[in-house]
Structure 1
Amino acid sequence: MNNRAFTLNQIKLHAIWALIGALSALVLTLIFNATGLTSLESFQGPESRLYSISNETAILIMVYCFATPLVEEILFRFFLFNFLNRHIKRAAIAIILTAALFGIYHLHPVQALYGFLMGLIITYSYYRHRTLSIPLVVHITANAFALVYTLL
């Protein structure tokens, strides 16, 4: 019985963080649209290259909603955050630095800002729960929202 309750609690926790990921992506998208950031070339360029991977929606979903978040979470949260947190010994600074590097990694100014802000949320979720599954869920839902928004 306890094992089942733990599983239900974990499912609820992951669902809450999935909602946080989706709502964060929605709010940032609305703010970026309202401020005109999404009309800048630095945003339009990468968005227009979305189909350079594939015209197949299933492949785009696999790449943007599963493969990319998995690789980025291992790289940025598991390796980079843990390294920074271990050496700096101040979680807040390690979270900010990890998020900043995550933003810079996206290479385009608008996406860098978006990546930094989402990186703060995702990295905090990893710090808070010390498991990759939660930031992975946040990342997947944020990317899924962004992909659906882009495809519509």
Structure 2
Amino acid sequence: MEPNISNTNQIKTANNSLNLMQIIGIIVGFFIVVISLSFLNEKQDFYFYPWYYEYLVYFLIFFLIILTYKPARSYLFQLISSIKFNKPKDYVFIILSWIFLMCYLAVLNIITQQLHMTPDPPKMIYNPSEMQLLIYGIGLVLLAPIWEEFLFRGILFSRLKNYIPICACFIISSLAFTCIHPISFGNSLYIFVFGLLVAYSYYKTNNMFVPISIHLLNNLFSLSIAMQ
């Protein structure tokens, strides 16, 4: 008697999926480690790592948590194996999303000016060495989009869909994503909407390549502003 291939694949997928408590544990554990390290590293007389290693450290923390926890590791491999690069519509989605973000940023700047609010100053980088800039740029532009999208969209958003309404998934994943960044009116409002956009991009395309690419373009733009 031949085995039922469809049922076998469903069982394998179910076994490799994360339940709600596992998702909460991963998110809470990551936040605790990152916030603790950031707090200690901001002390003037104590440094775990220099400023240009910040995003590299977060990347290593994420993959250390994921790779040492078998259910998360199995699910991550599923996400990676589902990435596709040969869908033209996905590239159109990326371009349109980037145009929307630039328009939204312009509107947000106008609103803050009309409300006589001081705009959030961009994070500036003053006279870094070539090696410092290289490490910081790799962390910000390449590594941050990868681990943030896998964590907040690939794990949190996609798994929450099995437990709560889709609208709540968009809001919760975007709020969690916002909280990992510096909190201020303009910055937080932009990041929250950005989180909604990349979550929607993943929801529509089911391809992690799309939100990662949008995120990469956004961080590349941020780096170019910081270098001015």
Bucket of the pairwise TM-score, normalised by the shorter protein:
0.7 to 0.9
1:108 equivalent in structure 2: 183
2:212 to 136, 145, 148: 136
Q: Is it true that 1:99 corresponds to 2:174 in the alignment?
A: yes
Question: 2-side partners of 1:23 and 1:15: how far apart?
Answer: 13
Q: Is it true that 1:118 corresponds to 2:194 in the alignment?
A: yes
Question: 2-side partners of 1:19 and 1:70: how far apart?
Answer: 18
Q: Is it true that 1:63 corresponds to 2:63 in the alignment?
A: no
1:150 equivalent in structure 2: 226
User: Any idea what SS the aligned residue of 1:87 has?
Assistant: coil
Structure with greater helix share of residues: 1
Question: 2-side partners of 1:7 and 1:18: how far apart?
Answer: 12
Determine which structure has greater relative contact order: mean sequence separation of CA pairs < 8 Å that are 6+ residues apart, divided by chain length: 1
Question: 1-side partners of 2:196 and 2:98: how far apart?
Answer: 14
2:30 equivalent in structure 1: none
When residues 87 and 131 of structure 1 are mapped into structure 2, their CA distance, relative to the original with a 3 A threshold, is same
Tell me the CA shift for residue 15 of structure 1.
Answer: 2.2
Q: Structure 1 runs of 4+ off > 4 angstroms?
A: none
Tell me the CA shift for residue 51 of structure 1.
Answer: 5.7
Tell me the CA shift for residue 71 of structure 1.
Answer: 0.8
TM (normalized to structure 2)? 0.53
Per mean C-alpha deviation after superposition, the further-off stretch among 130-139 and 58-67 is: 58-67
Query: Contact 2:91/2:210 (CA < 8 Å) preserved in 1?
Result: no
Query: Contact 1:17/1:137 (CA < 8 Å) preserved in 2?
Result: no
Q: How does 1:65-84 map to 2 (within 5 A)?
A: 65-84=141-160
Tell me the CA shift for residue 7 of structure 1.
Answer: 6.4
- The letter for the 2-side match of 1:99 is S
TM (normalized to structure 1)? 0.75
User: Any idea what SS the aligned residue of 1:106 has?
Assistant: coil
Query: Contact 2:90/2:205 (CA < 8 Å) preserved in 1?
Result: no
Tell me the CA shift for residue 96 of structure 1.
Answer: 1.9
Q: Which residues of structure 2 form unaligned runs of 5+?
A: 1-83
- The letter for the 2-side match of 1:118 is F
Computed over aligned residues only, the root mean square deviation of the Cα atoms, in angstroms, reads 2.7
Tell me the CA shift for residue 55 of structure 1.
Answer: 4.6
User: Any idea what SS the aligned residue of 1:131 has?
Assistant: coil
1:27 equivalent in structure 2: 103
* Structure exhibiting the larger radius of gyration computed from Cα positions: 2
- The letter for the 2-side match of 1:129 is T
User: Any idea what SS the aligned residue of 1:86 has?
Assistant: coil
